[in-house]
Every structure is written in structure tokens, then in C-alpha cells.
């Protein structure tokens, strides 16, 4: 499987962002990508006022344009995330399209980014967004894939459920900041990959110093914890080879998932 990683700058204009995404999807497919992944909030700036101003329904132009791009180029597309307006609520949502442009999955961010880091970032997604309530997987010709958004990936239980449900790679549109990114970004993607013996891929916006500052550094990690690809802070359009046969090989050599003691993993079972 060849993975297209699109780390792009985000403009204040939705039209600019959509046109840029279409061009990047084309370039990734020309580079041989089977699945292309965009960054979190690729179509608008990352702040609450922009989420409200750019919220749109499933029938809006962002989903329409992404669907058309997937169909035109015959590629699976993980459309980063957008502010989705649904039943008078706004969600941080990621749409997945198959090679015909059909929507095959929608993930609404489950864990909202409400944080206050001493000396660093303060942000409350819950001031605008409503949390989703589903774990998201989707089927491809390469097997089952998992999908979550940014802060979701900090919760190991979520990744473990996706692994147990058969996910071979977990895609994570994300936008870590300059406080948590240097500390945790690579560590987290390698850690989830090793613990669950699957591939992980995080795709972020490129870094701009206007407004929210993305750590960028889009990444792909193997089930052995190797970093297969890592960007810097600049716009990139990369295609990464993913050897899915490594999953079975590594799980056979180091049978972590089958050796679990689920009879012990509950609160109150500690020894005296």
C-alpha cells in the first residue's frame, strides 16, 4: 500500500484551501498513492470563530469537492477534518471516500481538545464542537483501517479497540501545537504502533506563525516502532510505502495481542 501524506498550509479562504487540496491529491496520486490523507481542519484556520464561520453540512462544498477528487483520481481519500454542521451542532469530522468518491466512513472527534498547559497552549474545542460517540473503522482492498482525530489518539483504549477490530493502519488527521508536539508527537505514534502492532500515520497542517501554530511533522510509523517517514514544518506532499505483511510477521514473532490477560485487566484486581 502506498500512502500519500499531504501537509499543507491553511489559508483563511476556504476556496484556496479546497483548490490546494485538490492539487495535492492529484500530485499524490501521480506519485503512486493508493490512500491520500489530509490534515486536521485543512479547509479553515484552527480557531473557534473559524469553525463556526466555515461549518457546513454533509452536502456542502468541502465534501462535494473531496468526493469529486477521489473519484477523478481513483484513490481512497481521508479528507482530513472539517467543521461539520448537523442538527444545529458542529462537529470536528473526518470523511473517508473510496475510489469512486463514495463516502465510506465519517468520524466525529470523540475526545475534544480542552486543555490548559502551564506556560503553553490554552484551548477549548468544546466551546464550539459537540463530541462524537463512535469508534470508526472502514474497509479497503488493503484491509480494515482505523480513523481518529488528533486528541483522540492520546487515549490508548481507542487504538486498542481498533486493533482488536482488525485495523491494519490507524490514520490520524491532527494539529498538535508547539508545546505538546515536540514532547509527545513522535513518541505517541511509535507507541501506539508498537503496542498494537500495526501502522500509524499522523497528518498535520504545515506550520504557519499566524494564529494557531501547528507543530506539523506529519509521520508514519511501523508495527516495530520504526519511523517510516517524518516531515519537517514546511508544506510537503510525500508518498510512503507501507508493507502490510510486516503486521503478521511481527505479531507471529512477538504475540502481544494473543498473550493478553484480559481476565486480570480490571480495576480492583490488584494484589495485596
| Each residue's pLDDT tens digit, 190-241 | 999 999 999 999 999 999 988 889 999 999 999 999 999 999 999 999 999 9
Out of 3.30.420.40, 3.30.750.24, 3.30.70.2740, 3.60.110.10, select the CATH number for domain 2-253. Answer: 3.60.110.10
Tell me the pLDDT of the chain averaged across its residues: 96
The per-residue pLDDT for range 74-94, each reduced to its tens digit, is 999 999 999 999 999 999 999
The active-site residue out of 40, 56, 125, 233 is 40
Q: Is 70 exceeded by the pLDDT of residue 52?
A: yes
Is 150 an annotated catalytic residue? yes
pTM: 0.96
The per-residue pLDDT for range 137-192, each reduced to its tens digit, is 999 999 999 999 999 999 999 999 999 999 999 999 999 999 899 999 999 999 99
State how far the Cα of 103 lies from the Cα of 97, in Å rounded to an integer.
Answer: 4
The active-site residue out of 44, 56, 108, 109 is 109
According to the model, what pLDDT value does residue 95 have?
98
Average pLDDT of 95-118? 93
The active-site residue out of 44, 148, 150, 169 is 150
Amino acid at each position: 500500500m502506498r500512502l500519500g501524506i499531504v501537509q499543507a498550509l491553511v489559508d483563511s479562504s476556504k476556496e484556496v484551501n479546497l483548490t490546494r487540496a485538490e492539487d495535492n491529491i492529484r500530485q499524490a496520486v501521480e506519485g503512486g498513492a493508493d490512500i491520500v490523507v489530509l490534515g486536521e481542519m485543512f479547509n479553515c484556520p484552527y480557531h473557534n470563530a473559524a469553525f463556526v464561520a466555515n461549518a457546513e453540512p454533509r452536502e456542502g462544498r468541502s465534501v462535494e469537492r473531496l468526493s469529486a477528487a477521489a473519484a477523478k483520481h481513483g484513490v481512497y481519500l481521508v479528507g482530513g477534518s472539517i467543521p461539520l454542521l448537523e442538527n444545529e451542532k458542529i462537529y470536528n469530522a473526518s470523511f473517508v471516500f473510496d475510489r469512486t468518491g463514495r463516502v465510506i466512513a465519517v468520524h466525529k472527534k470523540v475526545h475534544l481538545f480542552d486543555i490548559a498547559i502551564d506556560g503553553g497552549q490554552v484551548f477549548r474545542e468544546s466551546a464550539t464542537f459537540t463530541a462524537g460517540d463512535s469508534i470508526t473503522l472502514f474497509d479497503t482492498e488493503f484491509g480494515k483501517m482505523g480513523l481518529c482525530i488528533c486528541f483522540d489518539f492520546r487515549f490508548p483504549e481507542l487504538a486498542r479497540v481498533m486493533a482488536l477490530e482488525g485495523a491494519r493502519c490507524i490514520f490520524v488527521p491532527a494539529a498538535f501545537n508547539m508545546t505538546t508536539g515536540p514532547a509527545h508527537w513522535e513518541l505517541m505514534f511509535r507507541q501506539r504502533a508498537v503496542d498494537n502492532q500495526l501502522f500509524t500515520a499522523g497528518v498535520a497542517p504545515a506550520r504557519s506563525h499566524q494564529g494557531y501554530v501547528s507543530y506539523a511533522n506529519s509521520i508514519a510509523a511501523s508495527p516495530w516502532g520504526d519511523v517510516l517517514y517524518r516531515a519537517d514544518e514546511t508544506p510537503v506532499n510525500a508518498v510512503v510505502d507501507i508493507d502490510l505483511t510486516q503486521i503478521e510477521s511481527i505479531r507471529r514473532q512477538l504475540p502481544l495481542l494473543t498473550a493478553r490477560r484480559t481476565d486480570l485487566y480490571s480495576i480492583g484486581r490488584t494484589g495485596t
